[in-house]
Amino acid sequence: MELPKGLAGVVVDQTKVSSTKNAVLTYAGYPIKELKDAPFEEVVFLLWHTRLPSADELSEFRKRLVSEMVLPEKTVQLITRITYEPQHPMSILRTTVSLLGTTNDVKRDDPPRILAKLLTAIAAIIRIRDGQPIKHAQKGWGVVENFIYLFSGQRPTPERVAMFNTVMVLHADHEFNASTFTVRVVASTQADYYSCLTAAVCALKGPLHGGANERVFNMLETIRDTGQDPVQYVKNQMASGHKIMGFGHRIYKNGDPRAVILREVARKIAHETGNDSYFVLQEQIKDYMFKATHLHPNVDYYTALIYHCFDLDKQTFTMMFAACRTAGWLAHIVEQQAEGCLIRPSSEYVGETNRHYPSR
């Protein structure tokens, strides 16, 4: 029996949250290209309720999310303690998510409260790593504006808010990707939200999933700092058997639709922040990769540069991915738990058989 590698092409369940059918990404039926400029809060509501909110519902939803963007003092103390340890931010986030499940009123926690706290916790980790004081959410601001303020310490311009809003919307969900499938497996056991999210963060940490954006920027930084020719660098890496991060996708064979949108965001913010040289490198690498391999950039390729232009440390890039994807993870947790079916696949055993333990 020939088995599909990595479950490629295998339909394991049904969902109303999002779809990549025919290589077109939709959220609850709405094409992502039509949602790219929609408020992040509106898109979150859509993912959780599979419908768009009314104006009043959106206003109340936004207020609720912002009002919950605060952490218990005990949580802040614990995050501060573990953040000073020399470890990767995703390891800190993994522990932080688990901590939130012990320092909050878990029985009272619901998706809005959890999403707000995860955004705040991620921003707090960034501030503590930078040796900066933790900021507090501002009433009257939106979720994205507050999130940028919480991790940067500066109120962003409307233009910056719009750009980061697009990034968060495009990252909010993506059908049954590795971390989402992980979250659904744990949710199928009827585990609590924080257990599900901790598992999702663990899956996202891997370089073949969320960690790819950090490695994309490592490549760009190495090329620029050493003055190497980008095409020759890529040729050498490929000749040595190394994967060029940020290219290709299991679903999108003719280009990731999110990357198409993010390319323009990256170009614009790179120019505004004096990072044109990085974008030029990306274009040179992109053109060569298509010529040599016919692979297109994926969502990680341009977000790496965008996050850098927001003055984020490259080690925190994957946490940004988690901040956005938590919206989708929560939608899938609710959907999977409502289904009430334990995910328990079968396997094909290919090891030794007919073996017997020796008599003694």
**Residue 308 falls in the annotated catalytic set:** no
The active-site residue out of 173, 256, 296, 300 is 300
Active site residue 300: yes
Query: Across the strands, what pairs with 26?
Result: 19, 31
- The amino acid present at 99, given as its one-letter code, is L
Active-site residue, from 171, 174, 249, 308: 249
Lookup: tokens for 41: 């809060």
Q: Which is it for the CA torsion 262, 264, 267, 270, positive or negative? A: negative
User: What is each CA distance from 273 to 72, 230, 315, in whole angstroms?
Assistant: 35, 22, 20
Which residues form the catalytic set? 249, 300
